[in-house]
Chains A and B, each alone.
Chain A
Amino acid sequence: MLTIENLEVSYGRAQVLWGVSLNINEGEIIALVGANGAGKTTLLKTISGIVKQRSGKISYDGKPFDKLSSRDIVKMGIVHVPEGRKLFPEMSILENLMMGAYKVPKQEREKRLDQVFTLFPVLKERMKQLAGTLSGGEQQMVALARGLMAGPRLLMLDEPSLGLAPLVVERIFEAVMKIHQEGVTVLLVEQNVHEALELANRGYVLENGKIVLEGAGNELLGNEHVRCAYLGI
């Protein structure tokens, strides 16, 4: 579905990604793990068109999309839920969701809204509340829901568990599973390495801008390097 070959990205003179290649098949959950500053967020930003690559190729369904803007990329169904939620704090939940569907024709929005409210009933009850006044877990739900409103085929989640209590993290991951069961392909960036690899079909380990390991989720969980560097066992 999405293939990345030899991607190199730099901010000015600082190179962040060094020849990253990865590939995502339709219907998979892929975990991308790595330490702070490894380049995970940069990789997502490059896929969603916010950051431009210096070289390398990204293709989606076999078609290259180097020249596309982030607007076209959203329209094609690649949706990026950013790290730290980045909700519109002075807008209501409903308005945030409507922003998610910015590129979606008006007549389809109601349908999407129903689907999202089925997944997160609590958001329906509180749709008039300002997003800035919600708790961290609720904000993450809105962020996920806002991403879903765009109608993703590939949903990229950047650190959805960041700063949340373990119980809330569990609920968020449950929601991710449900979304996946409805046929959405998921690229999950996580520092919560254990949970992410358990959830995922396959995983990639990114270190200093390079992919150092890849493999099935449980295979990586058993890997000596992963256990030592990320799981502390």
Chain B
Amino acid sequence: METLVQSLVSGILTGSLYAMIGVGLTIIFGVMRIINMAHGDMVMLGMYSSFWALTLWNIDPFVSIVFWVPVAFLIGMLTYRFLLKKIVPAGELNTLLYTAGLSLFVSNLALLVWTGDYRTIKLDYAVMPLRPFGIAVPIPLAIAFGMAILITALLYWFLVKTDTGRAIRATSQEPMAAALMGVNAAQMEMLTFGLGTALACGAGVLLAPSLYLYPTVGEILVAKCFVIVVLGGLGSVQGAIAGGLLLGVVESLGAVYVSVPYKDAIGFVIFLLVLLFRPSGLFGVGKS
């Protein structure tokens, strides 16, 4: 019983970060139909940003996130403006290939400048886990969990309660009608790409103390990300949150009850099963 609770707890902790990355991917897809293959590399850049801020300037990851997220937001908007804007109208296949190329470029650039060495972040306060009710909770992961929930909730609030957020959702649901209401679609797309990038990068900053860093870490993350958003139904924010938590829990249970090396594989098995029985995702409505 204790093992079960333990693995559920660690699953939910990791899952909250998966959810944050997944929400970023899903809003980008929803608004501009880009399947962003470079999304995992944004997480990777976030992890390295976190690492370098600590190593060079001695700034704790949970502090440096305060400036890395706005920086990533700007970089995302610039990426859209100068690299993606022209190619979005060409369709999903073109942007898929294009962002795949972008992903190769970014991860290889990282390999070139930061080498392929595995790195870790060591925090003084991370040596001993907290033990509430006898369940081990790693401190950095717990803080990351809290911040991921806060950031995701803020984004959700923004999308639901503000005019601009509503315009973003409108553009994703019915772009022509949104344009007729006076929404500037290009502006919404740029904003959304900025937000998606900021979420990916922010999750990377938060994850850095809990994972190994290496330049191609984005590959496995982007694959997981696709599992998450497809589980939840492509384009759905609530779906991505649920999908992220679910994947975290499944992986964690798999690691305990099956075997650690199969942890990632189990996530993908669940993915295939869901696709087989619910092709539009667990929460997807399906387009008629």
Chain A residues at the B interface, C-beta cutoff of 8 Å: 48, 50, 69-71, 74-75, 79-80, 82, 86-91, 95, 98-100, 102-103, 132, 146, 150
Contacts and interface: CB of A to CB of B under 8 A. Distances in A.
Q: Which 5 A-B pairs have the closest CB atoms?
A: A86-B177, A74-B182, A103-B182, A71-B182, A88-B173
A82 B170 contact: no
A89 B172 CA distance: 11
A100 B285 CA distance: 25
B167 A87 contact: no
B102 interface: no
B178 interface: yes
Contact of A89 (B163, B174, B179): B174
A88 B235 CA distance: 14
B176 interface: yes
24 contacts: A50-B180, A69-B184, A70-B179, A70-B180, A70-B182, A71-B182, A71-B183, A74-B180, A74-B181, A75-B182, A82-B180, A86-B174, A86-B176, A88-B174, A89-B173, A89-B174, A90-B169, A91-B170, A95-B166, A102-B163, A102-B166, A102-B181, A132-B285, A146-B181
Interface of B: 163, 166-167, 169-170, 173-174, 176-184, 285
Contact of A102 (B169, B173, B183): B183
Nearest to A103: B182
B176 A82 contact: yes
A74 B184 CA distance: 12
A70 B173 CA distance: 19
A50 B184 CA distance: 11
A148 to B, nearest CB: 12
Contacts of A79: 180
Nearest to A72: B182
Contacts of B167: 99, 102
Contact of B182 (A86, A90, A102): A102
A98 B174 contact: no
